[in-house]
Amino acid sequence: MLGIGSEGMLTLALLYLRPTSRGSIKLQNNDPLKIVLADEGFLSNPKDMEAVKNIYKIYVKNIAAELAAIDPSYQLVSPTLDVSLAPLI
């Protein structure tokens, strides 16, 4: 997880380093200057989506609660806390 703070906001980014989803890269021809065809396959495996949702539910919800305990004016902007409490699909 990576956090960046600015202008009264904290932005969190989840870095999922061991996905099981796989993409592909295809060459269009022998010209090395041509753009390759790439499909990153991001979250194509349902297990990866479940892992990301679990990371969110566990860590982001806890970080939001800790910050609110320090400063009651802190609020989770997006996604809202009710989303983080929703059961995993």
For the chain, domain boundaries: 45-89
Q: Please list the residues that pair with 11 across neighbouring strands.
A: 4
- The mean predicted confidence, pLDDT, of the chain is 80
Bridge partners (DSSP) of residue 65 are none
Strands 24-26 and 37-39: antiparallel
CB 4 within 8 A of CB 23: no
Cα separation of 87 and 89, whole Å? 6
Residue 47 pLDDT class (50, 70, 90 cuts): very high
Residue-wise pLDDT for 54-80, tens only, equals 888 888 888 888 888 998 887 777 666
- Mean pLDDT across 34-41: 86
Q: How far apart are CA 88 and CA 23, in angstroms?
A: 25
Q: Could you tell me the pTM of the whole model?
A: 0.57
Which pLDDT score is estimated for 83? Answer: 57
